Each structure stands twice: as structure tokens, then as C-alpha cells.
Amino acid sequence: MKFVDQSRIFVKSGDGGNGCVSFRREKFVEFGGPNGGDGGRGGHVYVEAVDGLNTLVDFRYKRHYKAARGQHGMGKDRTGANGADITLQVPVGTQIFDEDMDFLIADLTQPGDRVMLAEGGSGGLGNSHFKSSTNQAPRRSTPGAEGAEMWVVLRLKLIADAGLVGLPNAGKSTFLAAVTRAKPKIADYPFTTLSPQLGVVGVDGNEFVLADIPGLIEGASEGVGLGTRFLGHIERCGVLLHLIDGTADDVVGAYETIMAELADYGADLTGKPMIIGLNKADAIPEDTLEEKRLALADASARPVMTLSGVSGAGVRDALSALWDVIKEDRRQRTRAEADGAGADDSETAGGWSPI
């Protein structure tokens, strides 16, 4: 399935049904009077995050979504049926922006998150609403309100526990294939990965989701190469694994290039926990490998792990280091959610409640 992480769509809620002008006409009923019913409400447009989806490809080929119109009112005080609502199902992690992407409408980060994107128009009033002692036969009704319509942009930011970053050909896809059942394309040329890949890693009886984004190059934060389209996918990661090609002549330069792009992109990507891995250790003499590791550790002021996605050397240590950070990140998020739920309960208990 083709990976699509952004799509522009048009949504329109249903118009309300018109009110009806009708009079009661029955044999032996002397005073019939107005009995026109109200129009039904137009259908709403909802967006809901569901499990089992990881792409917005469905919205690439169908861009217009319209809810049904409410039925018109009828005689005998019959109210028209409400228009059917429609629900657009999107992957977890989808953001909804206005047409110009200046305003974030909703961020659906949990399965079951649901937001009303466009409210259906209200139904019109029938003539029975306008009867009075001075106007016993009103011939007035109101039309249904028009539904809301808008263009919106859906943008998917994958939700993963850990993310792989690095220059093209750093060995990210090989690493992902070695530690998960994902089958990314692997070749000996740059930009083999053209879309993010996800895989589930098992370590010490635990599991976490690892995301591999296409290789970054200098200027990526400004849109060069695959640009910022895929940098957004690592915003939600709890920890980053920065892989550096150990066979490169300038490993320090490779590290600094990626860090500069992360800093220029913003979203506090450089503030995330990061593990640095000097990859392709199996293809480098031990003395040269140690020399590059020390130089990289000095430049980054962080510990540097040596590993090889091909031979598996050092891979388990890297996964264990990732899991230690992820475990703490999950613990903090659980605590924050519990604190937030407690605060909401306190506000409800201390506030007004209807009888």
C-alpha cells in the first residue's frame, strides 16, 4: 500500500430540511389549523482515529465528503428525518489543519479520539410554530440552515516509541529489518527509503514500535531532499537512535549535519533523548573504529555505541538502551495522564452539577 502522510480534502455537512406549510383538513373538524412540521437536521461530519490504519492513501483518491441533507417537514406535524452523519476514519496520530495550515483544528493521538469537523444545518420551522390568537392560519415557514463547508488538510505524524535518524545510506533500513519483521527496501545507493517504515521490536520480553524515516541531507529542514515532510514523524518519538555510517570519512561531520537539521526544524527534536550508534562496525578495522568512536564521542559529548545491522554485533545493547529510555518515557506519560484525570475529577467535584 502506498504511504501518504498528507492530503487536502473538502467536507460539507448536510443542509437542514425546510419547514412545511400545511393545514389540517378533516371532515367534521371545524377548526383545523396549521400542522406543518419542522425540517430535519443536516448530517454532521466527524473524524475518528482508529487502529489498523497507517496511511492517508484513501483521501488521496477521494477528496470530497458530504453528509446527507435533512428531510423536509411534512403535514400532520411530522418532522423530517435528520440527515445521516458521516465519519471519516483516519490513522492514529492524524492532525487536522485549516486550508492554509495556519491553525490546528484537532490532533487525534489516541484510538477512539473523535471530533466534529462540520456541524449539520438546523432544520427549518413549519407553519405550526407561527400560529397565534391573531394569526390562526399562518402561511409562513423557514428554510433549513445551510451546512458548513470547508477545505482542510489531514497530516499524519506516525506514533512510534523510537525513531531512526541519519544520513542516507547510514544503514537505517538494514537495522530495522534486522530487529523487526518489517521488510524495507535495502540497496547500496542513497534514498532507498522513500517513505517512513514501522516495525515492532521485541527485547527482554517487551515490545516497542520503531520508525525509520527517509535519510536526511543538509537543508532538509528547509525542504531540501525529502525535507520536513518526514521530519514531523519523529516529533512524537520518545527517543531517537542516530545511526552514523562508520565507513564514512567524516563521521563527526555526518553527526553535525543531522543535528543542525533537527535544530533548524524545531519542535525540540534536539532535546529528545538520543542514542548514537556508529554503524557498519563489521566493515571497519578495530583500531580505525575506535578512533572514529572517540572522535564522535568527543564531538557529541555523549556515549557512542558501535554496532552492525548486518552481523548483529552491538544491536542487542542498542535495543536495551532504547528500551530503558522508552520504559521511563511511558512511566512519565502514564503519571501525567493520571494527574490530569485527577485534576479533572477535582474540578467536577468542586463545581456546579445539574440536579
The tens digit of pLDDT for each residue in 141-165 reads: 999 999 999 999 998 887 778 888 8
Q: How far is CA 314 from CA 89, 256, 276, 277, 289, in A?
A: 41, 23, 12, 9, 13
Cell of 259: 543535528
Across the range 31-42, mean pLDDT stands at 90
**Quick one: CATH architecture of 162-334?**
3-Layer(aba) Sandwich (3.40)
Residue with the bigger pLDDT between 230 and 346: it is: 230
**CATH 3.30.200.20 assigned to 6-24+31-126+145-156:** no
Which residues are 188's β-sheet partners?
Answer: none
Q: Count the helices and strands in the chain (H runs, E runs).
A: 6, 14
C-alpha span between 37 and 19 (Å, rounded):
6
Residue with cell 515532510: 229
**Percentage of residues of the chain with pLDDT beyond 70:** 86
Residue 354 has pLDDT above 50, yes or no: no
Distance separating alpha carbons of residues 217 and 198, to the nearest angstrom? 21
Q: Break the chain into its structural domains and give their ranges.
A: 6-24+31-126+145-156, 162-334
Binding-site residues, please? 166-173, 191-195, 212-215, 279-282, 308-310
Residue 185, Cα to own-chain centre: how many angstroms?
A: 25
**Is the pLDDT assigned to residue 17 strictly greater than 60?**
yes
Which residues are annotated as part of the binding site for GTP? 166-173, 191-195, 212-215, 279-282, 308-310
Q: Does residue 326 register a pLDDT over 80?
A: yes
Binding site for Mg(2+), by residue number, is: 173, 193
Lowest mean pLDDT among 49-53, 181-185, 203-207: 181-185
pLDDT band at 213 (very low <50, low <70, confident <90, very high): confident
